[in-house]
Structure 1
């Protein structure tokens, strides 16, 4: 389950979109086509608050500026998580989760199909919190649908899924995170070390809370610096693994 930290509202942030809201594979999506002749794409799978946080779209645009075709789909079909009781935000999460299974890849498969139809040759997927579970589910597919995955402060990920990755996978973790606390992060790292045939990278960001990658406080320099470092790591990873 997503953590209490993820259920806290994101600090205020303003951003002017460079991409556009459109339909993609039948879903509402934020899309930035990147370069005119993009041959690689990145799918951003949001946390359970939905696909519209300004800092998520800012990162999508920065990724597109590197030449990637970027899609941020509304995989919740207009039904993001909204706590029924702000004083106990997780109380209504189980009912919401029952309607939104992060291992259901049907929407993402439709996105991948459309990307390939328009000439995209390589695809990466970045998942945040809830989306991290979907990203590692993609990375576990026996017949890979993507070429690489990035998990940013993921939720619900278990040891067997880490052990079963089939494509290069990057883990960008927060130190203060009940979903992947330091001891669990260390266990993940040990598991990855037993799989040298599949490239991986794991980094824990000191002092950061679950959700910080796209919910950092723009007025706190330490959070901004750490988030940008994680974004740089992700972009470097994609430049390496999505080169056509």
Structure 2
């Protein structure tokens, strides 16, 4: 764990380092469960692929160090409560602070990407249009359709992974986003028709190994292309 200092205070981030000790960096944007074992496992995965991987504690303004799972109803209720209280604009400021910090880490080659899941998938889009990130990837992000007015600020590549049977982000909303970006060369959208929300969450109820491997492979290729 490392500390990142902002004008509003200091928050923690989990850092995974690539075996070579050098490479681009990726900021991982959490689900609604905080910086838990799943997010740390994903960071370790990206580090093994040659990236520095940082997972900032984006709920620190509500309560630092939240670690929940998707295994009990009580934890789901707590997670939704944090999500409802989460200030998106302040969260993106913290993402920018993490991106800026990542560029100063010894061994980081300069370029920084962002990848988010669930809540983080939505934040990945906002990161793409509100920060100086070099490339962004969002997995099954919700509510992107409500923020398409900010798309004019998109200057760097964006990839989205949509779950065709996402109970939190229905197909009609996915189509709105896909149609909006259909002619934008910066945006790539992959749809997984039979998948439910969080199909790439290791150990989750909807986890699908084949589609998770496919999506993650696309993400790694995307980052190697744009952060290399």
TM-score of the superposed pair, with normalisation by structure 2: 0.80
- Equivalent residue for 2:163? 174
- Equivalent residue for 2:58? 75
**Kept in 2: contact 1:81–1:96 (CA 8 A):** no
- 1:99-139 Cα offsets, whole Å, 9 max, x none, are 31233223222212222223531011011111122211111
C-alpha separation between the residues in 1 aligned to 2:157 and 2:173? Answer: 20
- Equivalent residue for 2:191? 204
C-alpha separation between the residues in 1 aligned to 2:78 and 2:16? Answer: 36
- Equivalent residue for 1:62? 45
Deviation at 1:91, TM superposition (A): 9.3
Residue 239 (str. 1) matches residue 224 (str. 2): yes
C-alpha separation between the residues in 2 aligned to 1:76 and 1:97? Answer: 9
Name the structure, 1 or 2, with higher relative contact order (CA <8 Å, separation 6+): 1
Deviation at 1:184, TM superposition (A): 2.2
TM-score of the superposed pair, with normalisation by structure 1: 0.75
C-alpha separation between the residues in 2 aligned to 1:114 and 1:91? Answer: 30
Residue 43 (str. 1) matches residue 27 (str. 2): yes
**Kept in 2: contact 1:45–1:131 (CA 8 A):** yes
C-alpha separation between the residues in 1 aligned to 2:40 and 2:79? Answer: 27
SS at match of 2:221: helix
Provide the aligned C-alpha RMSD in A: 2.9
- Equivalent residue for 1:145? 132
SS at match of 2:208: helix
SS at match of 2:141: coil
Residue 102 (str. 1) matches residue 91 (str. 2): no
Deviation at 1:82, TM superposition (A): 8.4
In structure 1, stretches of 5+ residues that fail to align are: 1-21
Question: Structure 2 vs 1, CA of residues 39 and 82 (structure 1 numbering), >3 Å: closer, same or farther?
Answer: closer
SS at match of 1:170: strand
Residue 24 (str. 1) matches residue 19 (str. 2): no
- Equivalent residue for 2:18? 34
- 1:43-81 Cα offsets, whole Å, 9 max, x none, are 101111111133x33332221122111111221122467
